[in-house]
Amino acid sequence: MSAPLDGIVVIDLSRALAGPHAAMMLGDMGARVIKVESPGTGDDTRGWGPPFVGPDDEPISTYFLAANRNKESITLDLKSDDGRDVLTGLVRRADVLVENFRPGVMDRLGFGNEQLHELNPRLVVLSISGFGHDGPQGGRAGYDQIAQGESGLMSVTGPDADTPQRVGVPIGDLLAGMYGAYGVVTALHERNTTGVGRVVRTSLLAALVGAHAFQGTAYTVAGHVGRAQGNHHPSLSPYGLFHCQDGDIQVACGSESLWRKLAEAFDLDPAAPGMATNRERTVNRDQVTAALNAAFAAYPLAELLPRLAELGIPAGEVRTIDRVYDWNQTRSQGLVLDVDHPVLGHIELPGPPIRFDDNGYAGGRSEHAAPPMLDQHGDSIRAWLADGT
């Protein structure tokens, strides 16, 4: 079965996470992704760990494995004549080029956007930076945790306003990669009409500000500055983490009818002072939380979840990572892939979060490839360029 991006060739010059994640998303949809790495060391993330797996003399970073499935690897010294010649050949045959160098580096290498489009007018270039390619701080290096702080995300994450907290995954990198891939497929669609490519830009800052959602309009429209409120929603109540007899449970009441069902089922007065409307309950969140914690204290999780489900109250437990990947629902959605790695053998990887139709495939491919070893495909890629077909 053909994949949605069959025939699209992507040159991945990026490293670390934002760019590689964008390129991997395109690879998941069937694009041929050629990862260009530095000789000897490769992508920075090949050295990021622990945890590492595999033989002691050739340890493999699980961080690298997370962002580089469905790619080929070639090593090129872009400061050498040979490296520049091979990259020139790749650019001429590619549809997309992904890079996340600091602004100005591509120009110094002789592959600025003007030069790239002279070589290939149809090329779509994805450029991901830390804080934008221009503006007063456009040249700043971008690292996820710094961007989480600068973007305001940490100020609305954590137990309270005095304890800013990073998100437990590099969410700025991941979102920048997602927005970048979205921009690429948009530009590829436009190219079908115009016949020419364009430069797509995003940044860690842009991606995180783009994810502010209601926290953003709360300030831009109402002048309200959101602050971290722990595991409870700032605009809805009850909506958050509660305690039961043997653990934690999450409950989300997004309407007054759900609140009435919940309250009446657990012998609470839904119209009690301070609890009659969502606005009141949000102002008096501590009162609502205390009441529900007391009501839930008599129930173990295994009894409470089915009871809430029977009532139609959205609820769930808090799973550890291992229990997520062992969960039959996760596996039923194609979110765990089986691949064969040249050193590790058969391994499982987290899978792409998109499925098409009812074919059972994860992503756009019927089969997925393990992340490559450094320069694993160097010879075959050079042969493909020399062949010219």
Q: Which of 319, 338, 370 is the last residue before a domain boundary?
A: 319
In the three-class reduction of DSSP (H, G, I as helix; E, B as strand; rest coil), residue 275 is classed as coil
In sequence order, the 6+-apart residues with CB closer than 8 A to the CB of 250 are 231, 240, 241, 242, 315, 316, 317, 318
Percent of the chain past pLDDT 70, that is, above it, reads 99
**Together in a domain, 97 and 147:** yes
Query: How many domains is the chain built from?
Result: 2
**Together in a domain, 132 and 83:** yes
CATH of the domain at 264: 3.30.1540.10
pLDDT of residue 363: 81
Global confidence as pTM = 0.93
**Together in a domain, 168 and 294:** no
Calculate the alpha carbon distances from 42 to 10, 16, 46, 233 in Å.
Answer: 18, 10, 7, 42
Q: Is residue 256 part of a domain?
A: yes
Q: DSSP string of 277-314?
A: SHHHHHHTHHHHHHHHHHHHTTS-HHHHHHHHHHHT--
**Together in a domain, 313 and 341:** no
pLDDT tens digits along 267-325:
999 999 999 999 999 999 999 999 999 999 999 999 999 999 999 999 999 999 999 99
CATH of the domain at 79: 3.40.50.10540
pLDDT tens digits along 233-262:
999 999 999 999 999 999 999 899 999 999
> Out of 28, 95, 173, 375, which one is annotated catalytic?
173
Q: pLDDT band for position 360 (50/70/90)?
A: low
Domain interval for residue 68: 9-211+330-387
pLDDT of residue 361: 72
Mean pLDDT, residues 355-372: 85
**Together in a domain, 375 and 251:** no
Clarify whether 267 is annotated catalytic: no
**Together in a domain, 118 and 257:** no
Q: Cα–chain-centroid distance for residue 117?
A: 29
Higher pLDDT, 125 or 363: 125
pLDDT tens digits along 134-189:
999 988 888 999 999 999 999 999 999 999 999 999 999 999 999 999 999 999 99
